[in-house]
Structure 1
Amino acid sequence: MDIKSFEDLIEWARELHAHLSRCLSECSTKNKEERARALLTYLADHEAELERITAEFEKQADSRALKTRLYDYLNDEHKAIRTHRTCDDHYANLDFDSIVREVFSFHDQLIDLYDSLAGKAEIPEAKELAESLRAMEEHEAMRMARQIGMMDDV
């Protein structure tokens, strides 16, 4: 996806969450480990919720911020975000801890991208939008960590 504005960035992030949700869901019945299957189901649901939350940013964000151009300071950082892009059996073959590491790495990369964009924003509305996206990702990552921690205790 060619990302030229914050609006494009939000759409791209929403699509990443949707894609990850589908992949996790597809693998949730294929993993041999019971804890990993439960984790994949939880994470798939959580990523679907993040898709919905991210879409809300498009509806509620300041129109000036949404139209702010990014190509001058994105520097292809969005292409550097690593997640398993194809929905094959990748997550079905990982154990609980490996799944957790991969999903948190994905979220950390998004947080870093939003943080970088907030630091480079030229108008206050764009800075606020990038900071809000970062705060949402951080909050949701903490919520996932708590839930996964409880799963790990069981």
Structure 2
Amino acid sequence: MQVETIGDVLDWTRAVHGNLADCMAHCSKGADQERVRMLLDYLAEHERELSRVLELTKQDASPSALHTWCYEYFERYPVKPHEQCNEDFRNMDTRDIMSAVLALHEKVTDLYRYLHSRAEVNSTRELLANLIELEEHEAMRMARDAGRMEDL
């Protein structure tokens, strides 16, 4: 996937979350531990919902923000939507799974922060600030809920 505009970034991010959801759902079926299956099922559903929210965000975003160019980031830091799916989540423990998922969310948040720091148009800065907030909030929510599962 070639990423050149903020709209492409949203498509890429949606693909990352969707692919991660598919990977976790697949790994959940083969996991031996019940806690791992429960966590993977929860995270897969959460990632699917996040992908849906990103689609709605794109539909509501200003066309000028979506058409803002941002290709220089991806020339320096190539990204692959499927990189997280190479993990074998079914053989990890719950802490390792959460570390991998939170690392992916941090990578996306860092991308948004970089693009926000370079944005010159208010609509683009506003969109990216909202995306940063969304990713941070969802990562905190997943970590909190995963912690609650550990307490069970």
Q: What's the offset of the Cα at 1:85? A: 3.4
**Separation of aligned partners in 2, 1:78 and 1:20:** 18
| Alignment partner, residue 20 of structure 1 | 20
Change beyond 3 A, Cα 1:78–1:142? farther
Corresponding letter in the other structure for 1:150: R
Residues 83 and 102 of structure 1 are in contact (CA less than 8 Å); yes or no, is this contact kept in structure 2? Answer: no
Residues 83 and 106 of structure 1 are in contact (CA less than 8 Å); yes or no, is this contact kept in structure 2? Answer: no
Q: What's the offset of the Cα at 1:81? A: 8.0
Q: What's the offset of the Cα at 1:33? A: 1.2
Aligned length: 152
Aligned residues with identical type, % of pairs: 36
**Separation of aligned partners in 2, 1:4 and 1:104:** 25
Q: What's the offset of the Cα at 1:93? A: 1.4
| Alignment partner, residue 127 of structure 1 | 125
Corresponding letter in the other structure for 2:42: Y
Q: What's the offset of the Cα at 1:137? A: 0.4
Corresponding letter in the other structure for 1:62: S
Q: What's the offset of the Cα at 1:74? A: 4.5
Deviant stretches of 4+, over 6 Å:
none
| Alignment partner, residue 47 of structure 2 | 47
Task: With the length of structure 2 as denominator, give the TM-score of the two structures.
Answer: 0.93
Residues 24 and 91 of structure 1 are in contact (CA less than 8 Å); yes or no, is this contact kept in structure 2? Answer: yes
Alignment of 1:51-62 (within 5 A): 51-62=51-62
SS of equivalent residue, structure 2 residue 85: coil
Corresponding letter in the other structure for 2:96: S
Q: What's the offset of the Cα at 1:72? A: 3.6
Bigger helix fraction: 2
**What's the C-alpha RMSD, in Å, of the aligned pairs?**
1.8
Q: Deviations over 1:72-101 (max 9, x none)?
A: 454433527884234xx7111111111111
Change beyond 3 A, Cα 1:57–1:32? same
Q: Deviations over 1:14-62 (max 9, x none)?
A: 0111100000001112111111111000000000001101111110011
**Separation of aligned partners in 1, 2:97 and 2:120:** 37
Change beyond 3 A, Cα 1:150–1:104? same
Task: With the length of structure 1 as denominator, give the TM-score of the two structures.
Answer: 0.92
Change beyond 3 A, Cα 1:108–1:84? same
**Separation of aligned partners in 2, 1:135 and 1:117:** 14
